[in-house]
Structure 1
Amino acid sequence: MRSRLTADDAREAAAVLARRALLLPELAGAGTVAAFVSVGGEPGTDALLEELRGRGTRVLLPVLLPDDDLDWAVYEGPASLAEVGRVGRLTLREPSGPRLGPEAVTGADAVLLPGLAADRAGRRLGRGGGSYDRVLARLAAAGAEPALLVLLHDHELLDEVPTEPHDRPVHVVLTPSGTHRVRERRAGGRRD
C-alpha cells in the first residue's frame, strides 16, 4: 500500500505527522530524541527532524553498521545527511558527523521508531533486520526508559501483528489521523 501513495499524499501525511508529533508531551519536553530518516514509503520525517532541531532538541540519527546494529550521530540539518548505498538494500541517508557509539541511544528522552505496522497493544512490526530490536534491548539492559513512539500511515495500525518473545511494545503509535496511546509512562520515565 505504501507504493500506491502519491508524492502529494506522502508530503501531506509527513506534514500532518510532524505537526501531530510536535504537540506530544513526550517530544515537547525532550532534550534528546533518537529518530530516523525515512526511506522508501515510510512516513516522511524530514520536516519533523528540522522542527525538533529548530526548537533546540538534540536529535540523534542512526548509522547502520555492517552487522545491522545501529551507531548514532547528531543531526546537524539536511546538508549533514549523506546518501549511503548498501549492496542489495535501500540507499539510506545517514548523518555524516562523528559517531557516538551504539550506547548513545540510552541517553534519549524519546525514541522514534520506524515500522511496517503496529497494533493497538503497541506491538511493532519492523523490516526484519533486527536493528531496532537491538536498540530496544540495549535500552532495557541500560535501565533507560525513554518514550517509545512509532510513526505509521493510517492503514498500518492494525488490530494485531505477529510478535516474538523479544519484542517490546511502544507507548505511542502516531498516524496522520491520530495519536494512539498504548500505555502511559510514570513520572521519571518509568512505565506503568
Structure 2
Amino acid sequence: MGAGHSPAKTALRDQVRAARRRRPLGAAADFAADVSRVALQWAPVRDAATVAAYVSVGSEPGTGLLLDALVAAGKRVILPVVLPDLDLDWAVYDGPDALAPATRGLYEPTGPRLGRDAIRTADVVLVPGLGVSPAGERLGQGGGCYDRVLPRVPAGTPVAVVLFDDEVGVAVPSEPHDVRVGFALTASGVTPLSQPPVAR
C-alpha cells in the first residue's frame, strides 16, 4: 500500500471529508474572513516578506480572502503548481484572475514557474490538511505532495496547517515519512503544536 494510504488514514480522511461536506455555507464564509484576520495578526505572517500558501477548493477551509489580504498587506505570496510526479513547483500569486483550473480539481497560478526550491524563500508556510495531532502529525489529502515539499522548508521556518477548529488535536496515524508541522491556523487563532526537533 502506498505512502499515506494506510487503512487508518483512509478512514480518518473519509470521516473528515464527510464532516466538511455537512458544514453550512455560511460557516465557510465566516471562516474565510476570520482566518484571514487571525493570520495577519500572527507575528510570523505579519513579519514575513514571502508567504507560501495555497488555493482552497471544495469544502476545504477557505483561503481566498486570506490570499488577497496577504497581497494587500504587501506580502509576496507563492502558490503551488502540481507536477506530474506530484511534487510541487511554485509561482507568485497575482490575484484571482491569474489562476487557472488544473489537475485534481485544483486552481494554480499562471505566472512563471519558480522551481521546486522556491519554497525555501518563504518566511512562513501555510499548508492544507484534514487534521493535525497535538504533536503536529498532519493528515494530508493522500497524494503525498507536501511529504515531498516539507523536508525542503528550512529549519526554523514556521509551518502552519489551515484547519477548522474541530480538526485540531485529533489522533492522526503516523508513518515514518511524515514531517510534522509546528502550528495549526484556524478561525479561532494559532495553536502551537508540540513537535520534536527534526534533522533536516
TM-score higher than 0.5: yes
SS in 2 for 1:37: coil
Q: Which position in structure 1 is the counterpart of 2:38? A: 20
Q: Which position in structure 2 is the counterpart of 1:96? A: 110
SS in 1 for 2:126: strand
Deviation at 1:158, TM superposition (A): 2.8
SS in 1 for 2:191: strand
Contact between 2:136 and 2:181, CA under 8 Å: does it hold in 1?
Answer: yes
TM-score of the aligned structures, taking structure 1 as reference length: 0.88
Bigger relative contact order (CA 8 A; separation at least 6): 2
Does residue 62 in structure 1 map to residue 76 in structure 2?
no
TM-score of the aligned structures, taking structure 2 as reference length: 0.84
For residues 60-94 of structure 1, what are the alpha-carbon distances to aligned partners after superposition, in whole Å with 9 as ceiling and x for unaligned? Answer: 0001111111000000111111112x3xx3x1111
Q: Which position in structure 1 is the counterpart of 2:177? A: 166
Q: Which position in structure 1 is the counterpart of 2:127? A: 113
Contact between 1:107 and 1:144, CA under 8 Å: does it hold in 2?
Answer: no
1:105-184 alignment runs, 5 A limit:
105-139=119-153, 143-183=154-194
Gaps of 5+ in 2: 1-18
Q: CA–CA distance in 2 between the matches of 1:76 and 1:41? A: 23
Q: CA–CA distance in 1 between the matches of 2:89 and 2:119? A: 9
RMSD: 1.6
Q: Percent identity?
A: 51
Q: Which position in structure 2 is the counterpart of 1:80? A: 98
Which 4+ stretches in 1 moved above 6 angstroms?
A: none
Deviation at 1:183, TM superposition (A): 4.9
SS in 2 for 1:158: coil
Aligned residues, how many? 178
More strand by share: 1
Letter in 2 for 1:155: D
Q: Which position in structure 1 is the counterpart of 2:63? A: 45
